[in-house]
Amino acid sequence: MAGIYDFKVPKRDGSELALSDYRGKVIIIVNTATGCGFTPHYEPLEQMYEDLHERGLEIVDIPCNQFDDSAPGSDDQIHEFCSLKYHTRFEQMKKAEVNGENQLPLYAYLKEQKGFTGFGKGPMAFMMKIMMKRTDRNYKKNSDIKWNFTKFIIDRDGSVVARFEPTEDMDKVRMFVEGLI
């Protein structure tokens, strides 16, 4: 069976990022979008990267346009937006799909390792539940990515140890990641 280090992700420039290059590091793999209600997650993600990168944190940012056309534009336009608006220093990969027959193989693996367990509580969670009931009545029973900024956390041993939905408080995500660093 494949492990996290067996996967490669297409980069913006056409080359590939081998996740084996991040062996021994803590990795956040996140599907992102430049025009969604969760786009401000870039700010705490970048802050985590700045604060924890030298201690072993890597972020794999995979733009995805599967959710309400919220990542329009080319890979370079997405990179420019993130660099200018959020001053991101971690690299954005090539735009890709995270669900369906054209999903990155990496996402099939991640979803197999950590399925959907709910949106939690709070106003954003409530809104996501309502939206999902309209678009995917079976959303609670499948492991599909529900929206952009779903975060998978990989520990230093290469195990997928957590999945955080976009409705999860970013302070909680940071505390979890710091516990692994």
Instruction: At 45, list the tokens.
Output: 């993600």
The string of DSSP letters for 68-81 reads TT-S-S-HHHHHHH
Q: Which residue has the tokens 């140890």?
A: 161
Strands 26-32 and 151-154: antiparallel
Phi, psi of 86 (to 5 degrees): -115, 0
Q: Judge contact between 92 and 61, C-beta under 8 A.
A: yes
Can 36 be counted among the known catalytic residues? yes
Given the residues 36, 96, 98, 106, the one annotated as active site: 36
- Residue numbers annotated as active site: 36
